[in-house]
Structure 1
Amino acid sequence: MARMVMCKKLGRELPGLAYKPFPNELGQRIYDSISQDAWKLWLEHFKMILNEYRLAPADPRTTEILYQQAEQFFFGENAQLPPDYRPPPSKG
């Protein structure tokens, strides 16, 4: 049975992540309070950031930007999605 969390991003109880995504305090906060569904939204958002800023995944500065952007995405001002938000249908 999946571990349930009260997702800070989506505002409802949903299955949580199976492991901490980052080896730091932010990773623990995400593990404790972000759902799998919100994490999927983040992955899409981060792909956009990588492309827009032309970041190289192996560059140490990319990790710093990743943490800053994740903090803002999940816990920053206006981070929670509107109550009537419905994710787009899955492709394929």
Structure 2
Amino acid sequence: MGPEIVNAGTPVSHCEAPSKTSCNMTAESMHCRRCGKDTPPLNKAPFRNELGDRVLAEICPSCWQDWLQHQTSLINHYGLDPREPKAREFLYEQIEHVLLQGGEGKEIDTSKQGTIDWAPPGS
């Protein structure tokens, strides 16, 4: 059996080496800024920028998965296109606020679905 393919949000918990009977590979532990637990880190930074490096260093896989679910809700509710710079800026601001500063996510008022201007003020 070949090496296991894992997502960025999945911690490495074991390894399979066809020519070895055991593998001493262990993921380093990190302290998650959001939940406060000591856990293996993400496998890689989710973005190729400073924010991605901070998420990798400070956020555990479980909190990252929670964020991805919330991000999907934001994208669907506000009709965001993550390819657009303004949408990415909005999502990056939410990551900063929710994951790295411990704040609450942007409230999703389903009674106003599709009518909310998500763009930052002054844009």
**Deviation at residue 2 of structure 1 after TM alignment:** 2.3
Name the structure 1 match of 2:33. 8
Please identify which structure carries the higher helix content.
1
**AA aligned opposite 1:45:** H
**How many pairs align?**
79
DSSP 3-state at the match of 1:66: helix
Deviations 1:10-47 (A, max 9, x none): 11101211111112211111111111111100100100
Task: Judge conservation of contact 2:55–2:100 (CA < 8 Å) in 1.
Answer: no
Q: Distance in 2 between matches of 1:51 and 1:71?
A: 20
CA RMSD of aligned residues (A): 1.5
Highest RCO, 1 vs 2 (Cα 8 Å, sep ≥ 6): 1
Q: Distance in 2 between matches of 1:30 and 1:56?
A: 22
Could you list the runs of 5+ residues in structure 2 that have no partner in the other structure? Answer: 1-25, 105-123
Name the structure 1 match of 2:89. 64
Name the structure 2 match of 1:88. none
Name the structure 2 match of 1:75. 100
The normalised TM-score by structure 2 is 0.59
